[in-house]
Chain A
Amino acid sequence: MRHTLSVMVENRHGVLARVAGMFARRGYNIDSLTVGVTEDPTISRMTIVVRGDDEVLEQVTKQLNKLIDVIRVSDLKAEDTVEREMALFKVSSDVNNRSEIMQIVDIFRARIIDVAPKSMIVEVTGDETKIEAIEQLLRPFGIKEMVRTGKVALRRGAKGVSS
């Protein structure tokens, strides 16, 4: 079972190490972790995708709350959450297949952000299934390199995590 946790933390040095260290020490698995500043510059938001059953999730949440620098932890439910991830793919390409790749990029509403004689870089934003789908379609051309940001997520509607 995968859960998306939205964790509001003090924007201070060492916070990432505290959170990551806690996960490592207690043996919890992180699928992805992103961190960035919020509308309040003293607060950062971590979006952590964690794997585990309900008991593990309960412990993860409690252990996060024990950290002094953690202000609030919310378990975001898929049905009332929008989530996005960005990925960059450096794909092998030349004059022969460039247009074929561009068609795929169009279908996924992705973008080409760099073109070189033997490669191009595709930028795609979406949920996890979309990114995995385009990755599958690009793979036959040869993915030289790729990078994913990890998931960011917000609750739908006026009510937020921090309010």
Chain B
Amino acid sequence: MTGSTERMTGARALIECLYREGVDTIFGYPGGVLLPIYDELYSSNIRHILVRHEQAAAHAAEGYARATGKTGVCLATSGPGATNLVTGIANAYMDSIPMVALTGQVPSSMIGNDAFQEANITGITMPITKHNYLVQDVKELPRIIKEAFHIASTGRPGPVLVDLPKDITTDMVDFYYPDKVELRGYNPTYQGNLQQIKKAAAEIERSAKPVIYAGGGVISANAAAELKELAEKIQAPVTTTLTGMGGFPGNHPLFLGMPGMHGTKYANYAIQESDLLIAVGVRFDDRVTGKLKSFASNAKIIHIDIDPAEISKNVKVDIPIVGDAKWILSHLLKYTGKSQSEKWLEKIEGWKKQYPLHYMEPAGDEIKPQYIVEQINAVCPDAIIVTEVGQHQMWAAQYFKYTEPRTFISSGGLGTMGYGFPAAIGAKVARPDKVVIDVSGDGSFQMNSQEMATIVQNNIPVIIAIFNNGFLGMVRQWQEIFYGKRYSSTCIRDSVDFVKLAEAYGALGIRATKRDEVRPAIEKAIASGRPTLIDFIVECEENVSPMVPAGAAINEILDLERKE
């Protein structure tokens, strides 16, 4: 196949390229300059999911990528279509998710003339893509598409944008798909330095208080099995970041939960007191480290990451190992023995007993948001949980025990409200065998609620669980604590009747207002097999606890429990 040449239009060539890359699904929205491409899609075997807003196409492509590990693809027209992708591209960039964004562009001859629906999308997305292209000659198109998928999915993954002027899609080309890419400026390191790995092994064996701090890199490197083996072999407790959830079993005795601002107390205490921090596929984000100066200040730090630019970016590390987490962990396993952690693990057990995650049981039959997460976990422990951004996101991270990689999908770095619902669509399209639940807030959901039409039209049975507290809850929480309860522009009570909204779109709407309605609502949603929205009316001023105030050290972590 690869060597054959056939004369065809650029649009046809694009579809050929996507076949060769194994693309089975595209999330997109048509427009004027995309007409030649959509005409080709009409008769292709690629499934095109028509969204209702291009932002959703980008998030859905990301959800698809996160659920599978494959590169997600989205498609939008020039100008506003392209700019609507921007938030989704930035989100994928911050969380290092492989994605190829295809955008239409005005004809080459009109570029730079402020033509109708023209936007300089390569210029706009330069700082939020791993790389981007403006195709200037149809002969370059196959090479560029090949490179785009290669760059997006290798090394530290990320989004790549390809801008396609309309004339490129109608020009004729003798199609030839290259076998391999030749990029002299791009050659990611996969194999870690063995000397460094041996040094790390020696430190581990010397360590009395080791902690493993693992992130999204473990998921993208498919290194969860090696991570578990390492933790068990060296007997070190493991904390996983928000994007690392599922990278280590949440029900494992060595699991510490999440670190940082809304992490567990014991994860934070363990990091602060550790003598060796083994950081794997993480970037020392400020939500994890708190005050940088006092972060893990007693520990030597081993940092395993595929991106050399992450080494010593925020925190100075002692033993950097650049490469693929799976490769490095499997080699580290060969060289290292057990650490000296017996007493340390006892101490951590003590902390777990003394400072467990907890919330106040309600006096009556009100619904506590944490309870919903526990019930979802009880009903479908192997569901894919996708979240929006805010309080519900933190509860979903704290109270669900993720046991497998790619079962927790959330906007980490960028913190994009409106992300979860479209990302859940992408995840459900990729994994129709799985129950996919968008854990949502009433604020976040309204940022992309138009996608109800998408799931109904395409019969994508995503379950949306709205934690409806009538507030932009996380901002309200900060206003309560730091701004004297002056709830400026955060009350959104009675915005809309969500059940009627779901019904208006033709989806199933369920409302739960009492504690004993929670579980039946979840069960009914799953049993229905239909696109379903559950409106959980929850306590409106519940806080996410514990919490490290911004700028504080992570062991200065407070309980924010509301007294009944």
Residues of A near any B CB (own CB < 8 A): 9-10, 13-14, 17-18, 21-22, 25, 55, 58-59, 62-63, 65-71
Contact A63 B186 (CB under 8 A): no
Contact B309 A66 (CB under 8 A): yes
**B 99-143 to A, binary, CB cutoff 8 A, 1 in contact else 0:** 000000000000000000000001100110011001000000000
- A67–B184 Cα gap in the complex (Å)? 11
Shortest distance from the beta carbon of B225 to any chain A beta carbon, whole Å: 29
User: Which chain A residues lie closer than 8 Å to B127 at the CB level?
Assistant: 21-22, 25
User: Which chain A residues lie closer than 8 Å to B1 at the CB level?
Assistant: none
Contact B312 A71 (CB under 8 A): no
B343 on interface, CB distance cutoff 8 Å: no
Contact A65 B126 (CB under 8 A): no
B185 on interface, CB distance cutoff 8 Å: yes
Contact B186 A21 (CB under 8 A): no
B180 on interface, CB distance cutoff 8 Å: no
User: With A18-B126, A65-B308 known to touch, is A71 a contact of B185 (CB < 8 Å)?
Assistant: yes
Contact A59 B130 (CB under 8 A): no
Contact B185 A10 (CB under 8 A): yes
B313 on interface, CB distance cutoff 8 Å: yes
Contact A66 B307 (CB under 8 A): yes
Contact of A17 among B126, B131, B151 (CB under 8 A): B126
Shortest distance from the beta carbon of B414 to any chain A beta carbon, whole Å: 15
Shortest distance from the beta carbon of B150 to any chain A beta carbon, whole Å: 10
Contact A68 B131 (CB under 8 A): yes
| B122 (CB) vs chain A CBs: closest residue | A14
B363 on interface, CB distance cutoff 8 Å: no
What are 18 sample pairs from A and B whose C-beta atoms fall under 8 A apart?
A: A9-B185, A10-B185, A13-B134, A14-B122, A14-B126, A14-B134, A18-B126, A21-B127, A25-B127, A55-B312, A62-B311, A63-B309, A65-B308, A67-B131, A68-B185, A68-B186, A69-B131, A71-B185
Contact A62 B309 (CB under 8 A): yes
The 7 closest A-B CB pairs, nearest first, are A62-B309, A68-B131, A71-B185, A68-B186, A25-B127, A70-B185, A71-B184
Residues in B307-342 with C-beta less than 8 Å from chain A: 307-309, 311-313
| A15 (CB) vs chain B CBs: closest residue | B185
Contact A59 B126 (CB under 8 A): no
- A129–B185 Cα gap in the complex (Å)? 35
| B147 (CB) vs chain A CBs: closest residue | A68
| A70 (CB) vs chain B CBs: closest residue | B185
Contact A62 B185 (CB under 8 A): no
